[in-house]
Structure 1
Amino acid sequence: MVDTAPVNAGVERGVGTTALLVAAARAIETHRPDSLAADVYAEHFVRAAPASAGWPVRPHQVPDGDADPLWGRFARYFGLRTRVLDDFLLNAAHTGGIRQVVLLGAGLDTRAYRLDWPSGCVVFEIDREGVLAFKHQVLGALAAEPKAARTPVATDLRADWAGALTGAGFDPTAPTVWLAEGLLFYLPGAAETHLVTTVDRLSAPGSALAYEVKLEKDLLAYRDSPLYTSTHRQLGIDLIGLFSREPRPDSAGDLTARGWSASVRTPFEFSLLHGRGPLPEPNDALAGNRWVFADKPPS
């Protein structure tokens, strides 16, 4: 039977389109002379979807270079985020001995294909069916082979994703490293709380979690930020319109109360650590971004 579904199914509108934005940023980062992370598959996602086919995937395709708020500073942010979270996952697997990885809202994440996982790792990718189908079509056309056992879990995070995950072979008695990258901004506060509570319930001792949040009390205070206005002008993506404007829960505090250890870091700390990446500036849409790293102590 011939698959007649459009290749851009799942990423053609709304939050799905932001996965293409991040893929384009990873593609540009890959070809920077001082690259922080490499993803050879990213540009193929961008070219495969009509909505993004004309977007830049190489630094020389950005006329203003790093001075462009979208494809310069914002794209570099995504490159830095990719590197930091790559390091987190690999450290959990190689040093922490964790062999079970769950990517929540996996989008066009290709870590199962591009990272050097130790033997025995399984990577569960949770996202909507359309997004995973688009990824499957693009990577299938490239004959890409994962470097770990990869298990797609086609479900909406607003549904019983825990049941779908365990049904796909997830073992809640084994330590797990969890990742929620570029996800929680779009969820209502109650959904974030439910997600974190569920992760805690499914996490055996020795598990780890990383996620990204925004701490602004008022997102509209940054509505004129060059990052937001440039993204809207160049791509038609209204990020503030996609973000949940509800007050954010203190998920790091909740995890700590449940016995986890948690650290809350700014992206700028990692820019200084790596010697490249975005630094603070006036009217900065990145000012409230935080990366949270949490560990559940071994029993």
Structure 2
Amino acid sequence: MARSDGDTWDLASSVGATATMVAAQRALGHREKLIEDPYAEPLVRAVGMEFILRMLDGDFSFEDIDPVFTARLAAEAMAVRTRWFDQMFLDAAASGVRQAVILASGLDARAYRLPWPDGTVVFEVDQPEVIAFKTTTLADLGATPTATHRTVAVDLREDWPSALRDNGFDPKQPTAWSAEGLLIYLPSEAQDRLMEDITALSAPGSYLATERVPDVAAFTEERSKELSDRMKQLGSDIEMGDLVYKGERTNVIDHLRELGWAVTASAMRDAHAANGFDVPDDASWSAFTDLIYVRAKLG
């Protein structure tokens, strides 16, 4: 179903299902010992999406979807992404930042798995159903946060800055922000507003990590549609072309620089190479190879 203003979801539907798919890839990265995320797989299994569970259990192979897209390549791609955001948080903490905000947190378990310094407060912002499910599931698993953990159950299209402040966020203190896998699911004007709201809440010394997808239309092109159709034959009901917002959007790198951030960026192929991995030179990766990992610091 195509996106609409005010639409909602849980972790098995719409945008929430993509968060579960991402966590399944993190589970593969953990299995391959490329990243450390012991909570990814139990969280995915608790959601219970049949297609994703069959994938994790080996009922079909990634090659059934695309001959060059192996489980190892999926694990490597997610390891690169996870390490990029992990390192931003770790570097921010090393510089003395003791406040972190994970926007659209989904099944992200960084509040439970990263070695946060004493005194760190980690805020997670997402839809109420998503927050409730993850918090309850992790508690049932016996997981405990490694920092002071505060959840903010609010839609990012609403007044989330007020909700964040109401939960104890201090805009006078520098903050480490992540907007991982988020921007393509926002309309262009909402993306711009998000960056402006983050900047307004950020004291000097704040950090930010996100991504830029230069052409969101790549998710709706024929090749991507073919892959979605193959996934549907295996039981998936995820249709990326219906979930992303199409059309022209601001270059987030340029926008952040205009807002006063010092920005560094790494193209996906370069980020893979820096981690010792290769990206297949194949049409099935065309929706992903133009992705740029973005990191910024506010002076």
Q: TM-score, normalised on structure 1?
A: 0.87
Could you tell me how far 1:12 is from its partner in structure 2?
2.0
Mean CA deviation greater in 44-53 or 141-150:
44-53
* Alignment CA distance shift 1:233-1:38 (3 Å): farther
Deviations 1:192-228 (A, max 9, x none): 0000000010000011111112101733674314765
Name the SS for the 1:27 alignment partner: helix
Could you tell me how far 1:23 is from its partner in structure 2?
1.1
Task: Name the % identity.
Answer: 36
Can you give the 5+ residue segments of structure 1 that lack an aligned partner in the other structure?
1-8
Question: Counterpart of 1:123 in structure 2: which amino acid?
Answer: V
Matches of residues 76-155 of structure 1 in structure 2 within 5 Å? 76-94=76-94, 96-155=95-154
Matched, 1:51 2:71: no
Can you give the 5+ residue segments of structure 2 that lack an aligned partner in the other structure?
1-8
Question: Does the aligned pair in 1 maintain the 2:211–2:291 contact within 8 Å?
Answer: yes
Deviations 1:69-88 (A, max 9, x none): 27443443222201221111
Could you tell me how far 1:61 is from its partner in structure 2?
6.3
Over the residues paired in the alignment, what is the CA RMSD in angstroms? 2.3
Deviations 1:64-123 (A, max 9, x none): 6795627443443222201221111111112x2111000010111000111111111111
Matches of residues 225-244 of structure 1 in structure 2 within 5 Å? 225=224, 228=228, 230-234=230-234, 235-244=236-245
Matches of residues 1-299 of structure 1 in structure 2 within 5 Å? 10-32=10-32, 35-52=33-50, 54-57=53-56, 63=61, 67=67, 69=69, 71-94=71-94, 96-216=95-215, 218-219=217-218, 222-225=221-224, 228=228, 230-234=230-234, 235-276=236-277, 278-283=279-284, 284-297=286-299
Question: Does the aligned pair in 2 maintain the 1:62–1:68 contact within 8 Å?
Answer: no
CA distance in 2, matches of 1:216, 1:26: 25
CA distance in 2, matches of 1:71, 1:237: 19
CA distance in 2, matches of 1:64, 1:244: 26
User: Corresponding residue for 1:3?
Assistant: none
Could you tell me how far 1:138 is from its partner in structure 2?
1.3
Question: Does the aligned pair in 1 maintain the 2:88–2:208 contact within 8 Å?
Answer: no
Residue correspondences, number: 285
Name the SS for the 1:123 alignment partner: strand
CA distance in 1, matches of 2:212, 2:231: 19
Question: Does the aligned pair in 2 maintain the 1:46–1:55 contact within 8 Å?
Answer: no
CA distance in 2, matches of 1:125, 1:217: 26
CA distance in 1, matches of 2:232, 2:253: 31
Q: TM-score, normalised on structure 2?
A: 0.87
